[in-house]
C-alpha cells in the first residue's frame, strides 16, 4: 500500500511539471508584449523597456521559466498586472464562491444521478431508462449558458422564486448563501448529472448480471438491499472515477456559470484576466485549476481501496 | 478494409460479436447498411443536413447582410417591421422575424449566418484534432523511444481543463477563424492520440501485421495499409463527438467575449450582445440558444448512432 502510494504520488510529478511548462509557454510565447500593455498607450520606449526589465521579460525564455517555476514552488505566483495584488491573494479571495458552487453542484449531481442511474439499470429498457438516456444526451448538448438563461427566465423572472444574479458569502448566513447559489448550482449540475447517471446505469447494469446478485435475490433479500448493498456497492469504482474526471467539465462550467450569474469566483477571474491580458493571473488560475484537477483524481485513485476492498495495492 | 468474408447482414448478433473481435471482418457494405438503418443516425443526420442547407442557402432565406444595422430599428421585438439601411445608403422595409439587437441588426440574419460559423468550426475542429491525433498516435505506437515522452506530454495536456486551454490560446492569439479552430482542437488531440496509440499497440501484434513485417514491408506502408483502416470507425465516432464539443466551445468563447470579434455573426456573439438586455429582450438569447442546442444535440445523436453501429465495443461501455 505504502509502495503504491509513493509510486502514485511520484507519478503525478511529471504531469504537474508538464502542466507548468505548458501553462508558462502558452502565455509567454504569444504575440503581444505584456510590458506594452501594462505601460499603456502614452508610454515611451524607455518606460516600456524599464517595465520589461522590472518584470524580468528581458531575460531568455528558459531563464524566465526557471525563475517563475522556482517562485511558484514557494507559493509565489507573481503579481497581477491588472489588480496589482499577489495572484495567490487574488485566488484566495475568489476561492469561496467557486468552492461553494462546485460543492453544492457535486452534491446535487450525485444525489440525483446515482439513484436515477440505479433505477434505470434496474428497469433496463423501461420508459424510465429510455427517458434517462434521452435526458443525458440532452444534458450533454444544452450549453450551460443557454440553460442558465432559460432557468433565470423561468424561475427568477416568471415565477420570481429565486434571485437572478449575485452572490452572498457564507459569513452572511447559510440561508442567504444557499438561496443565491441554488439556481447556478442546478444549472451547472445538469451536465454532471447526465455524465454520472450514464456511467452509474452502465456500471450497475454490468453488476446486475453477476451470480452474487442472483444468489442475493434467491436467499430472499429485499430488492432495495440487493440494489444498494450488492449492485451499487460493486459498481462504485467506475462511478467514483467519472465523478473525478467530470471535475474538468465542472471547471469549464464554472467559468461560464459564474459569468452568467455574476458570481465573483475564480471562473469570473479567469475571464476578466484573459480580457485584460493579465498574464500572471491567467497562469496562476489555470495552474491552480489543473493542480486541483490532478490532485482530485489522485484522491479518486486512492479511494478505490475504500470503495472496493478487493483492491489491494 | 481488407477483403471481407461477407457475413449476411440479416444476423446482427453474429455480426456484432464478430466485429468485437476484429473490425476488418465486417464488409463495408454491411456496415454502411447498419449505419443507414440506425434511427439515431437518421434523426441526427437529417437535422444536420437541414442545418447544412440553411448554412449554404443563407443569402436566399430572406436574410439581409448580418452586419447591416439601423439605429431606428433598435431592440425590436420578434415579428416587428422596421427599416434597415443597406451599404449603398438605401433604406429598406424589413420584417425582423427574430427581432433586432441593440445596434438595430437583424437577429434572424445573424442567427442564420451564424450556422455557417458553427458548422465550419465544428467540422474543422474535428478534422484538425483527428489529423494530429492520428499522426501522433501512430508515432507513439511505432517509435518506442518517443512513446514515453509523448504520452507524458499528452497526460499533462489532458490535466488542464479543455475550456481553459482554448480561452487562453484564443485570447493570446486574438480571435480569428483559424486561431479559434486550432485553440479548440488542441485540447482534443490527446484523446485521439491515446485512442490511435492503443489501437496500434493491439493491431501490431496481429498475425497479419507480423507477416507484413517479416516480409520486409516498410513501416509507413504497414501503418497506411494495415493499421489506419482499423482506426477509421472509432475515429469517425470520436470525430463526431469532437465536432459537437467544438461547436459548444466556440459558442462559449464568443459568449464570454474572448472568441471571434463581436461583429462576426456567431450564435455566441448574438447571445453575448443580448445578455445585457436579457430581462427586457430575452429573444436575443433565446433564438441563437435554440439553434445552438439543436445543432449540438443533432451531432451528439448522430455520434451515438454511429458509435452503436460502427463501434460496438465502445457502445457496450455506455
- Residue A293 and residue A216 share a domain: yes
Q: Nearest residue on chain A to B152, judged by CA atoms? A: A15
CA distance B152 to chain A (A): 7
Res B8: pLDDT:
39
Res B49: pLDDT:
92
Residues of A in contact with B161 (CB under 8 A): 248, 251-252, 289-290, 293
Res A32: pLDDT:
60
Determine whether the interchain pair A252/B161 forms a contact, defined as Cβ–Cβ distance below 8 Å. Answer: yes
How far apart CA A117 and CA B128 sit, in angstroms, is 35
Res B65: pLDDT:
74
What is the architecture, at CATH level 2, of domain B38-63+106-317? Orthogonal Bundle (1.10)
Name the residue facing A293 among B159, B257, B301 (closest C-beta).
B159
CA distance B259 to chain A (A): 11
- Whether A180 is covered by a domain: the verdict is yes
Stretch 130-189 of chain B: residues touching chain A, C-beta under 8 Å:
152-153, 155-157, 159-165, 167-169, 171-174
Determine whether the interchain pair B172/A271 forms a contact, defined as Cβ–Cβ distance below 8 Å. Answer: no
Res B32: pLDDT:
76
Res B17: pLDDT:
40
Higher pLDDT, A150 or B94: A150
- Whether A35 is covered by a domain: the verdict is yes
Residues of B in contact with A140 (CB under 8 A): 244, 296, 300
- Whether A6 is covered by a domain: the verdict is no
- Whether A2 is covered by a domain: the verdict is no
> How far apart, in Å, do the first and last CA atoms of chain A sit?
5
Higher pLDDT, A37 or A77: A77
* A27, A48, A73 - which closes a domain: A73
Determine whether the interchain pair A141/B297 forms a contact, defined as Cβ–Cβ distance below 8 Å. Answer: yes
- Residue A166 and residue A43 share a domain: no
Res B318: pLDDT:
41
- Residue A124 and residue A93 share a domain: yes
Cell 424589413 belongs to B94
Res B261: pLDDT:
86
Determine whether the interchain pair B289/A149 forms a contact, defined as Cβ–Cβ distance below 8 Å. Answer: yes
Higher pLDDT, A174 or B128: B128
Q: Which residues contact B66 (CB under 8 A, 6 or more apart)?
A: B105, B106, B109, B110, B112, B113, B114, B265
- Residue A236 and residue A298 share a domain: yes
Q: How far is CA A301 from the centre of its chain?
A: 17
Q: Which residues pair with B81 in a beta bridge?
A: B95
ipTM above 0.90, yes or no: no
- Are A145 and A260 spatial neighbours (Cβ–Cβ below 8 Å)? yes
| Mean pLDDT within A117-146 | 87
Set of cell numbers at residue B31 = 456496415
- Whether A3 is covered by a domain: the verdict is no
pLDDT exceeds cutoff 70 at A30: no
- Residue A298 and residue A267 share a domain: yes
* Residue of A136, A141, A195, A200 best to disrupt the B interface, most CBs of B under 10 A: A141
Res A34: pLDDT:
65
**Between the CA of residue A295 and those of A16, A157, A302, what are the distances in Å?**
10, 40, 11
Alpha helices in chain B (DSSP H): 12-21, 28-37, 39-56, 107-142, 144-159, 162-173, 177-185, 189-203, 207-214, 219-222, 228-256, 267-274, 283-310, 312-316
Determine whether the interchain pair B248/A157 forms a contact, defined as Cβ–Cβ distance below 8 Å. Answer: no
Name the residue facing A140 among B160, B161, B300 (closest C-beta).
B300
- Domain boundaries, given as residue ranges, for chain B: 38-63+106-317
Res B10: pLDDT:
38
List average pLDDT for each run of 10 residues in chain B, which is 318 residues long: 39 40 52 79 89 84 71 68 70 71 76 90 95 92 87 88 87 84 93 90 84 85 83 88 92 89 86 80 85 91 86 54
* Residue of A30, A140, A144 best to disrupt the B interface, most CBs of B under 10 A: A140
Q: Which domain holds residue A51?
A: 13-73
- Residue A107 and residue A67 share a domain: no
How far apart CA B2 and CA B31 sit, in angstroms, is 14
Res A166: pLDDT:
78
Higher pLDDT, B127 or A204: B127
pLDDT exceeds cutoff 70 at A296: yes
* Residue of B171, B174, B180 best to disrupt the A interface, most CBs of A under 10 A: B171
pLDDT exceeds cutoff 60 at A50: yes
Average pLDDT, chain A: 84
Res A228: pLDDT:
80
Looking at A73-82, A111-120, A236-245, B208-217, which range is the least confident one? A73-82
- Residue A68 and residue A97 share a domain: no
pTM value is 0.84
Looking at A32-41, A144-153, A298-307, which range is the least confident one? A32-41
* A41, A73, A105 - which closes a domain: A73
How far apart CA A191 and CA A193 sit, in angstroms, is 5
- Residue A112 and residue A60 share a domain: no
Name the residue facing A26 among B168, B252, B258 (closest C-beta).
B168
How far apart CA B117 and CA B105 sit, in angstroms, is 18
* Number of domains present in the structure of chain A: 2
**Residue A33 binned pLDDT confidence (cut-offs 50, 70, 90):** low
**Residue A219 binned pLDDT confidence (cut-offs 50, 70, 90):** confident
Residues of B in contact with A202 (CB under 8 A): 317-318
**CATH, residue A223:** 1.10.3720.10
Degrees (nearest 5) of the Cα angle B161, B138, A244?
25
- Residue A132 and residue A44 share a domain: no
Looking at A218-232, A249-263, B132-146, which range is the least confident one? A218-232
Res A230: pLDDT:
82
- Phi, psi (rounded to 5 degrees) for B82: -150, -165
How far apart CA A85 and CA A47 sit, in angstroms, is 21
CA distance B241 to chain A (A): 11
Amino acid at each position: 500500500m505504502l509502495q503504491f502510494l509513493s509510486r502514485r504520488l511520484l507519478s503525478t510529478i511529471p504531469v504537474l511539471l508538464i502542466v507548468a511548462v505548458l501553462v508558462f509557454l502558452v502565455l509567454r510565447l504569444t504575440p503581444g508584449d505584456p510590458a506594452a500593455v501594462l505601460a499603456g498607450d502614452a508610454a515611451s520606449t524607455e518606460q516600456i523597456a524599464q517595465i520589461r526589465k522590472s518584470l524580468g521579460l528581458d531575460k531568455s525564455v528558459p531563464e524566465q521559466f526557471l525563475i517563475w517555476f522556482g517562485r511558484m514552488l514557494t507559493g509565489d505566483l507573481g503579481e497581477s498586472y491588472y489588480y496589482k495584488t499577489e495572484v495567490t491573494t487574488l485566488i484566495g479571495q475568489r476561492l469561496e464562491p467557486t468552492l461553494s458552487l462546485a460543492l453544492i453542484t457535486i452534491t446535487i449531481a450525485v444525489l440525483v444521478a446515482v439513484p436515477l442511474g440505479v433505477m434505470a439499470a434496474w428497469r433496463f429498457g423501461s420508459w424510465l431508462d429510455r427517458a434517462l438516456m434521452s435526458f443525458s444526451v440532452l444534458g450533454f448538448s444544452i450549453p450551460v449558458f443557454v440553460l442558465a438563461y432559460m432557468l433565470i427566465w423561468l424561475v427568477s423572472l416568471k415565477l420570481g422564486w429565486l434571485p437572478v444574479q449575485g452572490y452572498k458569502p457564507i459569513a452572511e448566513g447559510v440561508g442567504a448563501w444557499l438561496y443565491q447559489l441554488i439556481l447556478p448550482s442546478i444549472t451547472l449540475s445538469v451536465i454532471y448529472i447526465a455524465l454520472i447517471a450514464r456511467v452509474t446505469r452502465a456500471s450497475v447494469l454490468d453488476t446486475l448480471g453477476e451470480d452474487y446478485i442472483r444468489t442475493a435475490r434467491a436467499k430472499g433479500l429485499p430488492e432495495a438491499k440487493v440494489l444498494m448493498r450488492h449492485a451499487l456497492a460493486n459498481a462504485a469504482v467506475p462511478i467514483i472515477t467519472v465523478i473525478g474526471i467530470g471535475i474538468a467539465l465542472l471547471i469549464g462550467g464554472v467559468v461560464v456559470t459564474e459569468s452568467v450569474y455574476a458570481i465573483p469566483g475564480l471562473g469570473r477571474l479567469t475571464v476578466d484576466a484573459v480580457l485584460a491580458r493579465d498574464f500572471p493571473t491567467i497562469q496562476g488560475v489555470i495552474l491552480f485549476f489543473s493542480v486541483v484537477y490532478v490532485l482530485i483524481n489522485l484522491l479518486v485513485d486512492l479511494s478505490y481501496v475504500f470503495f472496493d476492498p478487493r483492491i489491494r495495492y | 478494409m481488407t477483403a471481407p468474408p461477407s457475413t449476411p447482414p440479416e444476423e446482427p448478433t453474429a455480426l456484432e460479436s464478430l466485429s468485437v473481435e476484429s473490425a476488418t471482418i465486417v464488409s463495408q457494405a454491411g456496415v454502411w447498411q447498419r449505419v443507414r438503418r440506425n434511427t439515431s443516425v437518421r434523426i441526427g443526420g437529417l437535422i444536420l443536413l437541414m442545418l447544412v442547407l440553411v448554412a449554404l442557402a443563407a443569402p436566399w432565406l430572406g436574410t439581409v447582410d448580418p452586419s447591416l444595422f439601423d439605429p431606428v430599428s433598435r431592440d425590436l421585438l420578434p415579428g416587428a417591421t422596421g427599416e434597415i439601411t443597406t451599404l449603398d445608403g438605401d433604406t429598406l422595409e424589413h420584417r425582423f422575424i427574430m427581432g433586432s439587437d441593440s445596434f438595430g441588426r437583424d437577429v434572424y440574419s445573424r442567427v442564420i449566418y451564424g450556422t455557417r460559423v458553427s458548422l465550419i468550426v465544428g467540422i474543422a475542429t474535428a478534422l484538425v484534432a483527428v489529423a494530429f491525433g492520428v499522426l501522433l498516435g501512430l508515432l507513439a505506437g511505432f517509435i518506442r523511444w518517443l512513446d514515453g515522452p509523448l504520452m507524458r506530454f499528452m497526460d499533462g495536456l489532458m490535466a488542464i481543463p479543455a475550456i481553459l486551454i482554448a480561452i487562453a490560446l484564443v485570447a493570446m492569439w486574438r480571435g480569428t477563424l483559424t486561431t479559434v479552430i486550432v485553440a479548440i482542437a488542441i485540447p482534443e488531440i490527446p484523446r485521439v492520440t491515446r485512442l490511435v496509440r492503443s489501437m496500434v499497440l493491439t493491431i501490431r501484434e496481429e498475425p497479419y501485421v507480423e507477416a507484413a513485417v517479416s516480409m520486409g514491408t516498410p513501416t509507413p506502408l504497414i501503418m497506411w495499409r494495415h493499421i489506419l483502416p482499423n482506426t477509421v470507425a472509432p475515429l469517425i465516432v470520436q470525430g463526431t463527438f469532437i465536432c459537437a464539443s467544438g461547436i459548444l466551445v466556440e459558442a462559449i468563447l464568443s459568449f464570454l467575449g474572448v472568441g471571434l470579434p463581436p461583429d462576426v455573426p456567431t450564435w455566441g456573439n448574438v447571445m453575448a450582445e443580448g445578455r445585457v438586455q436579457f430581462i427586457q429582450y430575452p429573444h436575443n438569447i433565446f433564438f441563437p440558444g435554440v439553434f445552438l442546442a439543436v445543432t449540438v444535440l443533432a451531432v451528439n445523436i448522430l455520434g451515438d448512432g454511429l458509435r452503436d453501429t460502427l463501434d460496438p465495443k465502445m457502445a457496450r461501455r455506455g
